[in-house]
Amino acid sequence: MSANMDHGLDPVTFEVLKNAYVNIVDQMAEQIFRTCYSFVIWSRDFSSALCDANGDTIMQGSGDIAAHVGTLHYTAKAVINAFKGDIHPGDVFVVNDVYQGGTHFNDTRIVRPMFYQGELLGFAQANGHWADVGGATPGSFNVNAIDHMAEGLRITPVRVWSKGQCLHDVCNLIASNTRAPADIIGDMEAQAEATKVAEQEVCRLIEKYGLDVIKTSFGAVQDYVETLTRQRVSALPDGVWETEDYIDLDPGVGEGLIPIRVRMTIKDDTVHYDLSKSHPTSIRCFLNACFGGSFAAIVAGTKMQFPEIPLNSGFYRVVTVDLGPAGSVVNAAWPTPVAGFCSGPFEKIMNSIFELWAEVMPERAMACTFNLDYLLIGGQDKRDASGGHKYFMWYDWMVGGWGARNGRDGWAATGPVFGVQLGTQPFEGQERLAPVLTTCHELRVDSGGPGESRGGMGVDKGVILTKVDRTVVSYCCDRERSITWGLWGGLPSIPHGVWVNEGLENERYLGSMFSNESLSPGDVVSRPSAGGGGLGDPLERDPQLVCEDVADGYVSIERAAIDYGVVVKEVDADLADYVVDRESTLAKRAYIRANRGKWLDEDAGAIAAKYRAGELGTLDLIRQYGVIVNWGSGELLEKTTQQFRAMLKRRTSPYWSQRMQPGQDATVSLKVA
């Protein structure tokens, strides 16, 4: 019997209300988008939800950020726990506490209790990424933080509207501890108004359908999602699968990849994830996740396997998680810094889940996607001829490549898995708001991981500082060393990392994680985003497709030969006219097949020396030899190389012996039970 019939709702009314709740959340999103103050929230770094009187999620919208899903019910419950018995019509609360189910302090939630004729119905919630919440670094991404106090303002549940009256003193106290107080007040009001829209719309539905029907439907839609999810899962084979991915390093320990281990169990109609074998302690920087951020990654990664199922707390009844003891890198405890959770554990958990589900539903297989990055430049804007000292913050994230899919190339220049719906910030808007001009933004040749299906393309972006003073740059990213990997024989992409004045005498390589590096007028800051990993043996890719990639500017003639074994001849570059040398291609592919297994065992020190001497390039080290170095100095990272090579020998080289998918050879399957 269907969930709606169990609750006595006729099917038509149930469907109308189920979709009405999605529409209400989408109306909240439109209200935020049209009335927000900050450029970051305008670029759609926000999410909304309806929750019932217990705080459980009734529905999320059609355009929410992946990293926010699975956390908004925690926030509603935190408000209930803090103010139980003291919640009134017209109240509005604010909270960003990561230790009560939040993600990071920038993600600040506005929560409004919804009432009808004095009865509490539930809660409307609008979550937005505030561009700054204080702390030691503009934008509040402090790589060097050793506790959360250095990351900005921690807001436990606090009332900011009381019975319809704004508590200006509280709002001003919060905003005054940020670098953009006017934006914070404006965004807070925009989010509060969005929750008011939700309350009005729910009350309108009550006037039409009646209070009892609406209250019943709140539970019915959650039961519906639970039932539908259990039906889908029960049709899949039972089993246990496990894999691992890596954060680049713990800066407090030294080089060496930090493991995130994910074990997935499907039994009957449930899916259980065990992350308890991940790195047992938090790392000494901000790339940790509290339980809310890790749970969001689990939910988002799993939900992508079932795109037709709506998202609410019914989904969470089917998908369960064991994060292990508090204090780990995936279950950080107070006062661990977690501002970079989205570039650290979150992204690794999601890609691990994609890999695990590729074993269960190979038709949906996808290799690793590029890593989310945030580049933040802050200082004094000197463009004002009157001599003012306006503070500016230039806040930028990149599009990049998604992993190759089973039978299809990956998407190019797409938003990160963290939030596909994040808008690409228009350069004209960025340049109007800050003294930072974009110098280039283009697809990066050879960034897509080679495979039978090629990974999507990453991009290059460069900016130049104009009239600035007392300016610093910070960067939140990863996969400079745990480079975006391929699947089923596919090869990795490229490393992330930031350069200042690349190619000039005063060039500096800053890497993929740093805070408060000084900048001066005229400095050029550039960085790539990685492409997606390849899927399948690149030597099995149709040579004509490789030739077309060369003509399109996706693959260079040089890497076509090295990575794909395809020898391409230029006929007329201006006309994008290229041809495949068939005989040379056969010989080249035969040579690579005979030797590539040995390359992963060559002396890593000797390979690094050739890199420093200019005899080998970055992609040679990564894709042919599995060697990781400091990309600025060329110094061999011995432990990291050992781990990276072990990863390639697990994800890539076993699939080169024959064309196959998981399950066709038990020696390369991730299934353990």
pLDDT digits (tens, 9 = 90+) for 522-572: 999 999 999 999 999 999 999 999 999 999 999 999 999 999 999 999 999
pLDDT of residue 124: 98
CA-wise closest residue to 492 among 600, 623, 366: 623
| Residue 280 falls inside a structural domain | no
Residue 128 DSSP class? E
pLDDT of residue 298: 97
The contacts of residue 652 (CB under 8 Å, 6+ apart) are: 485, 486, 489, 490, 491
- How far apart, in whole angstroms, are the C-alpha atoms of residue 83 and residue 81? 6
Band (pLDDT 50/70/90 cuts) for residue 658 is low
DSSP 302-350: HHTT-TTS--SHHHHHHEEEE--STTSSSS--TT---TTTTTTHHHHHH
Among 229, 257, 275, residue at a domain's last position: 229
Does residue 137 come out as left (phi exceeding 0), alpha (psi in the -120 to 50 range) or beta?
beta
pLDDT of residue 312: 95
pLDDT of residue 389: 67
CB 444 within 8 A of CB 457: yes
With b meaning 16 or more CB within 10 Å and e meaning fewer, what string describes 3-37?
bbeebebeeeebeebbebbbebbbbbbebbbebbb
Band (pLDDT 50/70/90 cuts) for residue 2 is very low
pLDDT of residue 467: 95
| Residue 621 falls inside a structural domain | yes
Q: 266 in helix, strand or coil?
A: strand
- How far apart, in whole angstroms, are the C-alpha atoms of residue 606 and residue 636? 10
Q: C-alpha distances in angstroms, 255 versus 187, 249, 615?
A: 40, 6, 25
Among 208, 229, 250, residue at a domain's last position: 229
| Residue 490 falls inside a structural domain | no
Q: Which two tokens stand for residue 173?
A: 């106290």
| Residue 500 falls inside a structural domain | no
Domain count, the chain: 2
Band (pLDDT 50/70/90 cuts) for residue 661 is low
Given a cut of 90, whether residue 43 has pLDDT beyond it is no
| Residue 324 falls inside a structural domain | no
At residue 647's C-alpha, the angle toward residues 285 and 606, to 5°, is: 90
- How far apart, in whole angstroms, are the C-alpha atoms of residue 510 and residue 230? 47
pLDDT of residue 401: 97
Q: Give the model confidence (pLDDT) of 222-264 as tens digits.
A: 999 999 999 999 999 999 999 999 999 999 999 999 999 999 9
Q: Give the model confidence (pLDDT) of 431-461 as tens digits.
A: 999 999 999 999 999 999 999 999 999 999 9
Percent over 70 (pLDDT), the chain: 97
| Residue 36 falls inside a structural domain | yes
CA-wise closest residue to 376 among 138, 117, 202: 138
pLDDT of residue 660: 47
The contacts of residue 161 (CB under 8 Å, 6+ apart) are: 90, 91, 92, 167, 192
Phi, psi of 30 (to 5 degrees): -65, -40
- How far apart, in whole angstroms, are the C-alpha atoms of residue 479 and residue 387? 42
What are residue 498's DSSP bridge partners? 511
CB 79 within 8 A of CB 115: no
User: Average of pLDDT values for 654-672?
Assistant: 66
Type of residue found at 249: L
Among 174, 208, 229, residue at a domain's last position: 229
Q: Which two tokens stand for residue 207?
A: 């006037």
Given a cut of 80, whether residue 665 has pLDDT beyond it is no
**For helices 11-35 and 211-234, what crossing angle results, to 10°?**
100
pLDDT of residue 1: 34
Please report where in the chains the tokens 């030691």 appear, as a residue.
Answer: 136
- How far apart, in whole angstroms, are the C-alpha atoms of residue 338 and residue 168? 29
Residue 450 DSSP class? P
- How far apart, in whole angstroms, are the C-alpha atoms of residue 103 and residue 250? 20
Percent over 90 (pLDDT), the chain: 89
Q: Give the model confidence (pLDDT) of 368-394 as tens digits.
A: 999 999 999 999 999 987 766 688 989
pLDDT of residue 391: 87
Q: Which strands form 46-52's sheet, in the order they lie side by side?
A: 57-60, 46-52, 119-129, 107-116, 92-95, 158-162, 165-166
Q: Give the model confidence (pLDDT) of 562-592 as tens digits.
A: 999 999 999 999 999 999 999 999 999 999 9
Q: 150 in helix, strand or coil?
A: helix
| Residue 47 falls inside a structural domain | yes
Given a cut of 60, whether residue 346 has pLDDT beyond it is yes
| Residue 390 falls inside a structural domain | no
Domain extent, residue 660, equals: 600-673
Q: C-alpha distances in angstroms, 117 versus 89, 120, 205, 498?
A: 9, 9, 14, 56
Query: β-pairing, 319-322 with 459-465?
Result: unpaired
